[in-house]
Structure 1
Amino acid sequence: MTVGTTDALRAAPGWYALSLLHGRIDSHLERALQGGHDLSSREYSLLEVLSHQHDGEGGHLRMNQVADAVVLSQSATTRLVTRLEDRGLLARYLCPTDRRGIYTNVTPAGLELLEQARPTHDAALREALAAAAADPRLEPFVAAVEHLNRAAVG
């Protein structure tokens, strides 16, 4: 075995634990959001990201930036945007300063659904993190997430 392989194997337990934490949280969010609001966790994330846009300089994201923000490929992001647009939750329009650019805005119906879903999302996230904290493999990652959340708000 080479040194690189040995190092990778030592790093793997942390990576697998992080992947496990993400999977558990995402599954819990998915069930809660689908059951309560007919939204997937990806749809919720997309609405959340786009809801923070503004009309000022640099206030709108291009599709590649949206894809990066929701951690999807550009084609998967386009399909997701189209699905939410078909539901009346998003609207696309041409960039006023660059006719090649297309922006996406959350519609009033999308903002309303996002506001209704936010408490469900937040409660499900708290529940998933609390359950994960009981697992010794995941507790350090949960502590890190909680630390980052505290730092972000204050």
Structure 2
Amino acid sequence: MTATDPALTALAQSWCALSLLHGKIETHLERALQAGHGLSVREYSLLDVLSRQHSGTGGHLQMKQVADAVVLSQSATTRLVTRLEDRGLLTRYLCDTDRRGIYTDVTEAGLALLGEARPTNDRALRAALDEAAENPELAPLVRTVEALNVPA
């Protein structure tokens, strides 16, 4: 395969379209969440991921799992957790069974803010997808995203 190979070019164009769609969605979400709730997309995502934890076996995520879920490095995730903890939205505590483990929970204030922000996030996502669907290059990707039925 060469750099001018049509298959490679088509693949690169598809990747660019996917990247463009992601960027448009993230920008739309960022503006809406910042304006309405003082949250970044990453902060919203972290609160959302951590709010889904439960007290059953395997219900609490380790920092690496949290980092993977929000697509950040462990160090960036730790800094993000610290910022949200400083705002009173998260709390950290030691694992009962492994003193090396530190867990993070969403506080009542964090759950309240997340509850207020969720409809904003959903509306902004819908608006971003609707806008992107008007672009013939992005419309097939939008249809694919809308067809996904990923369990929460």
Q: Which runs of no fewer than 5 residues in structure 1 stay unpaired? A: none
What residue number does 1:122 align with? 122
Deviation at 1:4, TM superposition (A): 5.7
What residue number does 2:18 align with? 18
SS in 1 for 2:105: strand
TM-score (norm 1): 0.93
Counterparts of 2:33 and 2:121, CA distance in 1? 7
The correspondence of residues 1-154 of structure 1 with structure 2, limited to 5 A, is 3=1, 5=3, 6=5, 7-148=7-148, 151-152=149-150
TM-score (norm 2): 0.95
Q: Deviations over 1:10-44 (max 9, x none)?
A: 31101000000000000000000000000001100
AA matched with 1:94? L
Counterparts of 2:74 and 2:140, CA distance in 1? 32
Counterparts of 1:8 and 1:88, CA distance in 2? 49
Counterparts of 2:137 and 2:102, CA distance in 1? 43
Percent of aligned positions that are identical: 68
Counterparts of 1:91 and 1:61, CA distance in 2? 14
Deviation at 1:122, TM superposition (A): 0.3
SS in 1 for 2:129: helix
Deviation at 1:9, TM superposition (A): 2.8
AA matched with 1:99? R
Counterparts of 1:103 and 1:4, CA distance in 2? 49
SS in 1 for 2:93: strand
AA matched with 1:145? V
Aligned residues: 149
Counterparts of 2:118 and 2:126, CA distance in 1? 12
Counterparts of 2:67 and 2:94, CA distance in 1? 18
AA matched with 1:36? G
User: RMSD of aligned C-alpha atoms?
Assistant: 1.1
Deviation at 1:8, TM superposition (A): 3.5
Counterparts of 2:122 and 2:10, CA distance in 1? 34
